[in-house]
Amino acid sequence: MAGLTKASLPPRLFRDIRNRGAAVCVMLYEDGIVARETPKLLAVLAPEERARHDRMATSERRNEYLVGRLLIRTVLSVLLDVPCAQVPLLIDSRGRPHVACRAPLAYDISLSHSRGYAVLGVTKAGRIGVDIEATFDGDYALVRRFLASEELAGLLALPQVQRSAALARAWVIKEAWSKALGFGLGVPFRNLNTALRTEGCSGRVRWRIIDGSTVPTACAIASDELTPPSMPRFAIPVNLERLSGAAR
Ligand SMILES: CC(C)(COP(=O)(O)OP(=O)(O)OC[C@H]1O[C@@H](n2cnc3c(N)ncnc32)[C@H](O)[C@@H]1OP(=O)(O)O)[C@@H](O)C(=O)NCCC(=O)NCCS
């Protein structure tokens, strides 16, 4: 089984990882195509990933999981120079994916998916977190639980029409921050005060909204050396039929 070739992915993605130390790429997919190609695409996954996929309750969840694994495995297969199926991809006890390799191949990764978008962050130094939200309804009861008091005051001071977008940005930043830390939803989101800004830092974790995305997307990096990338490098309109062909 051959991995995807470097030519199948945007070369700047790999240049950015090499030269800047980190990159984020966004992939678009259609549920119908994933469903149709599932039997072939599953061949790239490890047996335990296939079993996990099969246990998932809805077709949307199965699709996003499958696409996420393919995206991670495809990019890492190029970085590690191994076939997709041989990328040593594990998850920790909290569900955080990681690559079982030592320096200089010790890449850290983070994944997010939302309604046909899959986002992958990769870094060579420190820990990375990414989040994307294609739909965000801004439930007030939820807001009170996750916003710092300064954020809530800032939100209420905004014109009504700007609140939903500001809230979505704050949410994706907090999720990216918690993923970089590896806590998932277990972290008290109120502890991060974004001041509704699009970039900032909290301790060692630097975060920013990624410009040029059509939906709210954030990246956070816990590193003494790196800042999060400002642009997704790059939207990958992956042809899943071609991908499954390459995986055979
Ligand atoms: C991480 C989390 C907040 C993401 O939720 P979400 O916004 O609904 O979904 P996203 O698409 O943005 O991210 C999901 C991806 O984040 C990654 N992820 C899961 N847990 C993670 C964690 N603790 N830290 C970092 N990333 C995590 C996974 O790759 C997951 O995708 P996959 O399951 O398809 O591989 C949520 O899954 C969570 O809280 N998980 C932690 C659960 C936990 O703490 N369990 C403890 C068990 S003892």
Q: If you take atom 20 of ligand 1, which residue's CA is the nearest one?
A: 95
Q: Residue 21 — φ and ψ, nearest 5°?
A: 90, -10
The residues spanned by each domain of the chain are: 6-247
Is the pLDDT confidence value at 248 over 80?
Answer: no
Q: Looking at ligand 1, which atom is closest to the CA of residue 95?
A: 20
pLDDT digit string (tens) for 8-40? 678 888 888 999 899 998 888 888 888 888 998
Q: What is the pTM of this model?
A: 0.90
pLDDT number for residue 103 = 80
pLDDT digit string (tens) for 178-233? 999 887 777 889 999 999 999 999 999 999 998 777 788 899 999 888 888 877 65
Ligand 1 center from residue 91 Cα (angstroms): 10
**Unique residue bearing structure tokens 């042809």:** 239
> Does ligand 1 lie within 6 Å of residue 113's CB atom?
yes
CA distance 62 to 38: 9
pLDDT digit string (tens) for 105-152? 899 999 999 988 999 999 998 999 999 998 877 676 777 788 999 999
Residues 6 or more apart whose CB falls under 8 angstroms from that of 19 comprise: none
pLDDT number for residue 232 = 67
> Does ligand 1 lie within 6 Å of residue 111's CB atom?
yes
Asked if residues 230 and 25 have their Cβ atoms less than 8 Å apart, the reply is: no
Identify residue 96 by its one-letter amino acid code. Answer: R
Short-list 33, 29, 25, 31, CA closest to 78: 25
pLDDT number for residue 11 = 82
Q: Looking at ligand 1, which atom is closest to the CA of residue 131?
A: 12
pLDDT digit string (tens) for 78-92? 999 999 899 999 999
Q: Residue 176 — φ and ψ, nearest 5°?
A: -65, -40
1-16 in b/e form (b: 16+ CB < 10 A) is eebbeeeebbeebbeb
The helix (H) or strand (E) run that includes residue 180 is helix 160-181
pLDDT number for residue 199 = 93
Ligand 1 center from residue 178 Cα (angstroms): 10
Taking residues 144-168, report their average pLDDT: 90
How is domain 6-247 classified at the CATH fold level? Answer: Ribosomal Protein L22; Chain A (3.90.470)
